[in-house]
Copies of this chain bind each other. A is one copy, B any other.
Amino acid sequence: MNPLISLLQCLVLIISLFITISVSATRFNIPRLSPNAGAFVQGNYFARDHPKPLSAFDPVTEFQTIYYNQTLDHFNFRPDSFNTFQQRYLINFKHWGGSNISAPIFAYLGEEEAIDADLSIIGFLSENADKFQALQIFIEHRYYGQSVPFGSREEGFKNASTIGYFNSAQAMADYAEILIHVKKQLRAEHSPVIVIGASYGGMLASWFRLKYPHVALGALASSAPILYFEDIIPPEKGYYSIVTKDFQEASETCYQTIKKSWSEIDDIASKPEGLSFLSNKFRTCSPLTKSSELKDYLDTLYCEAAQYNSPPSYPVTVVCGGIDGVSSGNDTLSKIFAGVVAYYGNRSCYVNEPRNLSETDVGWSWQTCSDLVIPMGVSNESMFPPYQFDLQEYIDSCKALYGVPPRPHWATTYFGGHDIKLALYRFASNIIFSNGLRDPYSSGGVLENISDTVVAVLAKNGSHCLDVLLSDSTDPDWLVEQRKTEVKIIQGWLAEYYGELRAFEQ
């Protein structure tokens, strides 16, 4: 029997690993796969900067909240498997054309955060419901928000025996149960369901179409890096390579400054009083105890800026504006610090900011240590210090954290990924993989059409999940066009479906 670690121990370990991680140790800071930049470790860019929605969308008044008595374990018949928990979903009938005309259902499949967050930032459903006469549903992912089994977060996350039911296969079965239930309740058996997901939720959406084609007619998978498993993506084409490219394209000097900053930080840190010097230089909230505290902070800042590098302000440009704005005579670290200030604005202190772990921190840490092992290597060509992903080390670290090991091969066993075109060219249909090519996670996305109906919709200048976020009057033309393309594709699926519905039901 594996040792069971209490929530408290677990959090302490996570915190220590997140915050004090050294370059040589296992890197656990897999960037969040969320459409919501606010879910990032230090993330607040989105919250500060995101434009107000254009639409008169008001999630509080238009959506009904419903709790579904969900099965804890869909895949076994052990006595414990039959435990249930309350899973939250929200439903909006405002624009629905009804079951009489088998009007469609748009279902947003929640990712690693409370569904409230999605309700306030996702625009694709609310902005298109009218045009499609679509019912809107937002379903919360198990173990997030109000959908935590075992009665409380404390119990649900207590040890591997309770958190062990927390994985994507179970979450997808949850979604299937709820969607079938809703259709039955509404006598809308022939209403086609389009599932929409963003980031990790986009992975779930595309996988859902693959695993439950009888429940979902099609999927819009925004920024879904379904190929980021095992050895499919080599580090030199991975996440950090795109972050690097983003910065280099924004400014060659900025990129050069960042690239050489890491060794300067290490050099200074290794000297007597070096950490104290760095703490002063970066105005840290508490004195640095090792250089990795600073480096991880900067790493996260650059990743976050690149991942959510959205119009109108383009955070990468903002950071580089700060870095390049310091006159060339000055030292590298002054430039780097100027980049930090440009990004976060004036604060009393930076780095080692006192901060509570969010539920996304805790949940995502488990998910990347169980079924979603995303190997984040950094190649020599990047602007970051190189890092070779060591699978065994990763497994050992996860096991030390949770008492159970991850399953790094499970995602490709259950969902596939290798030779995806070969596997799906004559299989599947009706999936849009949308990606912004400036999004570092696009490196794990499907970037070319697999077939006529499993297609890639790309935005050269796009960032993470931009297409499904609320639209804005300042949106550039290419983003407006990208959304139109997606709507048109979905209209095509529906037209075909209704034709077949008429033909086959006769």
Q: Once the chains bind, are B427 and A78 in contact (CB under 8 Å)?
A: no
Find chain B residues with CB under 8 A from A428 CB: 213, 427-428
Interchain CB contact under 8 A, A76 and B170: yes
Q: A215 to B212: give the CA distance in the assembly, Å.
A: 17
Task: Judge if A52 is at the interface, Cβ distance under 8 Å.
Answer: no
Chain B contacts of A173 at CB under 8 A?
413-414
A453 at the interface (CB under 8 A from B): yes
Interface members, chain A 364-419 (any B CB < 8 Å): 370-371, 402-407, 409-410, 412-419
Chain B residues within 8 Å of A326, by CB: none
Q: Is the CB of B78 within 8 A of A404?
A: yes
**A 192-215 to B, binary, CB cutoff 8 A, 1 in contact else 0:** 000000000000000000111111
Kindly list chain B residues whose C-beta atoms are within 8 Å of the C-beta of A188: none
Given known A-B contacts A214-B417, A414-B176, A501-B422, A75 and B427 have beta carbons under 8 A apart:
no
Whether B78 and A164, one on each chain, are in contact in the complex, defined by CB atoms closer than 8 angstroms, is: yes
Q: Are A82 and B404 in contact (CB under 8 A)?
A: yes
A149 → chain B closest CB, angstroms: 12
User: A69 contacts the other chain (Cβ, under 8 Å)?
Assistant: no
The answer to whether the Cβ of A160 comes within 8 Å of any Cβ in the partner chain is: yes
Complex: how many Å from CA A423 to CA B505?
12
Chain B residue at minimal CB-CB distance from A159: B79
Let me know if A426 is at the binding interface, CB within 8 A. yes
Proximity string of chain A (145-169) to chain B, C-beta cutoff 8 Å, 1 when within and 0 when not:
0000000000000001101111101
Q: What is the distance, in angstroms, from A51's C-beta to the closest C-beta of chain B?
A: 38
B166 touches A500 (CB 8 A): no
State how many copies of this chain the complex holds.
2
Chain B residue at minimum C-beta to C-beta distance from A497? B422
Name, among A75, A76, A422, A453, the residue most crowded by chain B CB atoms within 10 Å (CB to CB). Answer: A76
Q: State the Cβ distance, A369 to closest chain B Cβ, in Å.
A: 9
Asked whether A504 and B426 contact (CB < 8 A) given A78-B164, A78-B165, A161-B78, the answer is no
Interface size range on A against B? 35 or more
A160 contacts B407, C-beta separation under 8 Å: no
Bound Cα distance from A213 to B431, whole angstroms = 16
A500 touches B161 (CB 8 A): no
Q: Is residue A425 contacting chain B, with contact meaning CB distance below 8 A?
A: yes
A2 touches B79 (CB 8 A): yes
Using A79-B2, A404-B79, A504-B421 as known contacts, say yes or no to A413 and B180 having CB atoms under 8 A apart. Answer: yes
Q: Which of B4, B79, B166 contacts A77 (CB 8 A)?
A: B166
- Do the beta carbons of A79 and B214 come within 8 Å of each other? no
Question: Could you list some 27 contacts between A and B, CB below 8 A?
Answer: A73-B76, A74-B75, A75-B76, A75-B167, A76-B76, A77-B370, A77-B371, A77-B402, A77-B404, A78-B161, A79-B160, A79-B403, A79-B404, A80-B161, A81-B404, A213-B416, A213-B424, A213-B427, A214-B416, A214-B423, A214-B424, A422-B504, A425-B500, A426-B429, A426-B453, A426-B500, A428-B428
User: Taking beta carbons and an 8 Å cutoff, which residues of A are in contact with B?
Assistant: 1-2, 4, 73-82, 160-161, 163-167, 169-170, 173, 176-177, 180, 189-190, 210-215, 370-371, 402-407, 409-410, 412-430, 453, 496-497, 500-501, 504-505
Q: Which 8 A-B pairs have the closest CB atoms?
A: A214-B416, A78-B164, A75-B75, A214-B423, A77-B164, A213-B427, A2-B79, A77-B370
